[in-house]
Amino acid sequence: MEIEGMAGAIGVSTNSLLLAQYINELSAFCTSVVAYTANGTVFHGRNIDFLFESTMRNITYQAEFMQNG
């Protein structure tokens, strides 16, 4: 559902974004942290440890997705 929402928000197909995600996962070796608060808010943080960080830094999009407000 996250990929579908992101794909719709940026106007690309879900399959294209899923493929890009798989390529990223197989090549980047990023680490991430997922945590949640007592009220159920989920936080996901990911570092950028790419070999071509200067290029990725220019095309990385930071977003906050919300549902129902």
**In a domain? residue 29:** yes
> How far apart, in whole angstroms, are the C-alpha atoms of residue 44 and residue 61?
14
Q: Is 30 annotated as catalytic?
A: yes
pLDDT at 49: 67
**In a domain? residue 38:** yes
Taking the complete model, does pTM exceed 0.85, yes or no? no
* Marked catalytic residue, from 9, 10, 12, 30: 30
Residue 55 sits at φ, ψ, to 5 deg, of -70, -45
Alpha-helical segments (H) within 1-69: 2-10, 14-28, 53-59
* Residue 15: HSE in the Cβ half-sphere, 13 Å Cα cutoff: 0
pLDDT (tens digit per residue) in 6-63 = 889 989 999 998 888 888 777 766 677 889 999 988 888 877 666 666 776 676 667 7
Which tokens go with 3? 């990929």
pLDDT at 41: 87
pLDDT at 25: 74
How many domains is the chain partitioned into structurally? 1
**In a domain? residue 67:** no
**In a domain? residue 11:** yes
Name the residue range of residue 27's domain: 2-59
pLDDT at 1: 86
> How far apart, in whole angstroms, are the C-alpha atoms of residue 23 and residue 17?
10
pLDDT at 67: 81
